[in-house]
Amino acid sequence: MAKFYVTTPIYYVNDVPSIGHAYTTTIADILTRWHRLQGDKTFFLTGLDENSQITIKAAQKKGFKDFGKYTDEMAEKWKKAWKELNISNDGFIRTTEPRHKKVVTEFFEKINKMGDIYKGNYKGLYCDSCEAYLTEKDLENGLCPFHKKPPKQISEENYFFKLSAYKEKVLAHIEKNPGFIQPKTRRNEVISFLKGEVKDVSVSRPGTDWGITLPIDEKQKVWVWFDALINYVSGSEGNWPAELHLLAKDILRFHCVIWPAMLMSAGYELPKKLFVHGFMTINGQKMSKSLGNVIDPLYLKEKYGLDAIRYYITREISFGEDGDFSENGLKARLNNELANELGNLVNRTLVMIEKKSAGKIPAAKTDEGLQKKLNLKKIEEQMEKLELHHALAEIFSFISACNQFVNEKEPWKLKGKELDTVLYSLADSLRIISILLQPFMPSTSEKINQQLGVKAAKLKECKFNLLKAGAKVKKGEILFKKVE
C-alpha cells in the first residue's frame, strides 16, 4: 500500500477562510480523495498559524484581551468552514497546541546541538504582514511585493540559523531531484536564489509575550515562520515525510529554501515534493481586504452549490498558475458543462431506463465504440502530474462522448437488444463517471450512485460491464439547476 501525506500551508487566524484559502485546501482534498480511490494510505493535514503578531492585532481589534480565547473561537470557525466545504482532512494542527510546542522545542534543540544557532544583531527591513525579513532586492518600488506597503526598519538582538551553511546541500538536492519543486518555473526561481548570496536567518524575536519561548533564552520567542514550518512534522501523526506540500508562490522561499535546510540540520528526511501554485484574482484584481473583493466560499456554496464551486476552481485554473475567479465564469460552466452536459446525461439516461426498461438495468454489454472514448490511463497520468484541470477536462470529454452517443443512437427509436445495449452502455458509463468524479465532486458522485442503485467504488472498478443487470434505478432531483 502506497503512502500519501499531503499538507496545505497553515493559515493565519486574523479572519475566516476566503476563496483563496478554500482553493488550496480543496486541491489537497481532491488529491487525497484520488489517492483513497487508488487504495493508498492517506493523511491530509491542514491547520492554523496562531503564534503570529497578526493574531494579536486581530484579537485586539475585536476587543479580546485573552488571545487564547480569541484563537480558540477562530479555530472553531475554521473547522466548521472546512466541514461545510466538505474538506476531508485527517489532521488539524494549531500552533498553540502543546504537541506542536513540544516538537518545536525538540526541533530547535537538535539544530542548536549541530552548532547551527548563534546570537547576533539584526538590522534591516521587516514586513509585519508577511512577518518576514526582507532585503532591498525583495522590494518593488520600495514596497513589499505581496502587501504593497513599505516594510519597517528594525534593529534587534536575536538568534540566527546558519542557513548559509546549507546553501550548497539544498541546491544539490534540488538539482539531483528534478521533481522536488514544481512547476519548473518555481524550481528555476529557487535555484537562481540559491546561486546568489544566501544570508543566515533570524529565528527568534524579542519583546513579545505571545508565541513559543526559545529553549535557550526565556526573553525571546521563536520566530513565527520557524515555528510554523514545523507543523508539518508536529501534526503528521507519524506520517512524516510528506509526499506533497502545497503552497502559494508568496511563501516559496520559506518552504523551498529555509525548510529543507532546517530539516537537514535537525536530521529529518525531506518532503518528496513541493508544489507552488499561483494567486487567485477576482475579476482580474488580486484579492485584498482593502479593495473589498475577498469572497466568502460559504456565500458561494449557498448561492451555487458546493460541487459547482469545486468544479469551477479546478477546471478554470491551470494548477500552478495564477487564476481569475469570476461569478460570470462560474455561472457559464455551471449552466453549460454541469447542467447541460453532466446533469442532462444523468437525467435522460434514467428517464429512458424508467420508461423503456421498467426502471431496471437491462442485460447487455457496453458498446465497444463508447468504451474507447474513455482514456483512463491519460486521466491517471494527469492526476499523477498534478494537472487536475486537464484530468477533469478529460473526464468531461467522456461525458460529452456519452451525450453524443445518445444523439447518434436515438434510443427513443430503438427496441429489443439494440435498445438494451444503449441503455446499459449509458448506465455503465455513468457508474464509471461517478467514480472518476468522486474526488472532484463527492456529493454529485454520491447522488449519481444513489440514482443508479450502486455503492461507491474504487478506481480499480473503472472497468466496463461491471454494472449488474436487473438493478433498480431511481431518478432523483436534477443534479444542477441553471442560474440565470
Average pLDDT over residues 10-34: 94
Distances (CA, A) of 374 to 8, 397, 462: 32, 8, 10
Say yes or no to pLDDT of 267 above 60.
Answer: yes
Q: Are residues 270 and 393 in the same domain?
A: no
Query: 363 with 426: CB under 8 angstroms?
Result: no
Helix (H, G, I), strand (E, B) or coil at 55: helix
Q: Are residues 38 and 171 in the same domain?
A: yes
Q: Whole domain around residue 228: which residue ranges?
A: 3-277
Of 215, 249, 277, the last residue of a domain is 277
Give the mean pLDDT of the chain.
93
**What is the model's pTM?**
0.93
Asked if residue 332 is part of any domain, the answer here is: yes
- What pLDDT sits at residue 54? 86
Asked if residue 482 is part of any domain, the answer here is: no
Q: Are residues 350 and 242 in the same domain?
A: no
Helix (H, G, I), strand (E, B) or coil at 160: strand
Cell triple for 77: 470557525
DSSP calls for 455-480: ----GGG--TT-SPTTPBP---S-S-
Distances (CA, A) of 330 to 190, 312, 442: 34, 6, 18
Average pLDDT over residues 30-51: 97
Of 242, 259, 277, the last residue of a domain is 277
Q: Are residues 267 and 333 in the same domain?
A: no
Average pLDDT over residues 46-55: 92
Please name the amino acid found at residue 280. M
- What pLDDT sits at residue 484? 83
Average pLDDT over residues 315-338: 93
Asked if residue 194 is part of any domain, the answer here is: yes
Rounded to the nearest 5°, which phi and psi values hold at 132? Answer: -140, 150
- CATH code of the domain in which 369 resides: 1.10.730.10
- What pLDDT sits at residue 401? 98
- What pLDDT sits at residue 132? 67
Q: Are residues 92 and 177 in the same domain?
A: yes
Say yes or no to pLDDT of 290 above 60.
Answer: no
Percent of the chain with pLDDT over 90: 82
Q: Are residues 371 and 451 in the same domain?
A: yes
Asked if residue 113 is part of any domain, the answer here is: yes
Whole-angstrom distance, CA of residue 417 vs CA of residue 201: 73
User: Buried b / exposed e across 82-115, counting CB within 10 Å, b at 16+?
Assistant: beebbbbbebbbbbbbeebbebbbebbeebbeee
Say yes or no to pLDDT of 282 above 90.
Answer: no
- What pLDDT sits at residue 452? 96
Q: Are residues 244 and 380 in the same domain?
A: no
pLDDT tens for residues 389-447?
999 999 999 999 999 999 999 999 999 999 999 999 999 999 999 999 999 999 999 99
Instruction: Determine how many CB atoms are found less than 10 A away from the CB of residue 231.
Output: 25
pLDDT tens for residues 159-207?
999 999 999 999 999 999 999 999 999 999 999 999 999 999 999 988 8
- What pLDDT sits at residue 289? 62
Q: Are residues 226 and 108 in the same domain?
A: yes
Query: 274 with 247: CB under 8 angstroms?
Result: yes
Total domains present in the chain:
2
Asked if residue 259 is part of any domain, the answer here is: yes
Asked if residue 28 is part of any domain, the answer here is: yes
- What pLDDT sits at residue 212? 96
Q: Are residues 247 and 347 in the same domain?
A: no
Say yes or no to pLDDT of 370 above 90.
Answer: yes
Question: Locate cell 544570508: which residue?
Answer: 199
Query: 19 with 61: CB under 8 angstroms?
Result: no
Q: Are residues 102 and 227 in the same domain?
A: yes
Say yes or no to pLDDT of 307 above 80.
Answer: yes
- What pLDDT sits at residue 421? 97
Whole-angstrom distance, CA of residue 307 vs CA of residue 85: 9
Say yes or no to pLDDT of 291 above 80.
Answer: no
With 0-12 / 13-18 / 19 or more C-beta atoms within 10 angstroms meaning exposed / middle / buried, residue 377 is exposed
Q: Are residues 142 and 10 in the same domain?
A: yes
Say yes or no to pLDDT of 239 above 80.
Answer: yes
Longest Cα separation, the chain: 86
Percent of the chain with pLDDT over 70: 95
Q: Are residues 452 and 339 in the same domain?
A: yes
Which of 86-100, 314-328, 367-381 has the least mean pLDDT?
A: 314-328
Tell me which residue of 2, 7, 48, 3 sits closest to 29, measured CA to CA.
7
